[in-house]
Amino acid sequence: MPLDKQIAGVLQQFRDIPEPDYSQVDAAQYRQFSDNMLPAIPGEPMSEVRELRVAGADGELEARLYRPLEQDNLPLLVFFHGGGFVMGNLDTHDNLCRSLAHQTGAVVVSVAYRLAPEHKFPAAPLDCHAATCWLVEHAAELGVDGSRLALAGDSAGGNLALAVSQLAAQREGPKIRYQCLFYPVTDAGCDSQSFEEFAESYLLSAKAMRWFWQQYLQEEGQADDPLASPLRAESLAGLPPTALLTAGFDPLRDEGEALAECLREAGVPVRLQRYEGMIHGFISMTPFVEAAAQALTEACADLRGALN
């Protein structure tokens, strides 16, 4: 299937922006540039949007709560943003979180975990697990039903959702009903066929992904840790039912689909869907890419069914 026409138009907007020399780039400056690249697009109106302070693994973290309906005891969907473990924040994914809340009927809480290279692995997964535990423990005062808990994340955020699920299985809590992973990062090897085939010209480049891993990991041996590379886990048994979305023109496509197979082999129910004409990051393009909006609607239907 060819590249989606609306996606091709998106790529055209980025063609004149040169890729940095990653051997010279300053992570903090690159983060600031990237996080402010796109203009803010007004999202779905919410009954409540509230800034929170939640527990991380080593101190408090910022988070943002989105309540779509003026009622208590709604399900809880904890969201982890993408950005290569280096970039992204509550604002870059505000529109997506509003859409998730609106379409699932769940209270969404987006967590601002610590970023690399200032805070290297395993700071981010430990933060995300600690924040999820805190949210469940404080469910009553937040007006949510902590027994109806799901996770979601895009790219690096999908990796972190998987890490939280693994830690929850190992530590016997919290109980997670479902996880929705949008084109997740699953392996530090960066050596799949799709990684080579779509190495450049499709928004996320192979050079950028390798640089993200260099910023994230403290040492090479950590690439084998299942919390960093879930595809290398001995078993993924005990993880929650999973929806996993991949993009046809994404360097991470094959590693995401390989993870779906590993989950199935471990006895985890999986709905894998490849969106052929899409690129990495497409789920954040729903305001101007019709196929992306349809993909999000389908993912939200899965989440809504799992949480109700």
- Give me the chain's average pLDDT, please: 96
What is 278-289 written as a DSSP string?
--TTGGGGTTT-
**Residue length, the chain?**
308
Fill in the amino acid letter for 59: G
pLDDT at site 17: 84
Tell me the pLDDT tens digit for each residue of 81-100.
999 999 999 999 999 999 99
Residue 16's pLDDT band (boundaries 50, 70, 90)? confident
CATH of the domain at 60: 3.40.50.1820
Is the pLDDT at 18 greater than 90? The verdict is no
- Residue 184 token pair: 């997740």
Count: domains in the chain: 1
Range of the domain at 76: 5-307
- CB-side neighbour CA atoms (13 Å) of 136: 19
Residue 288's pLDDT band (boundaries 50, 70, 90)? very high
Catalytic residues: 155, 250, 280
pTM of this prediction?
A: 0.98
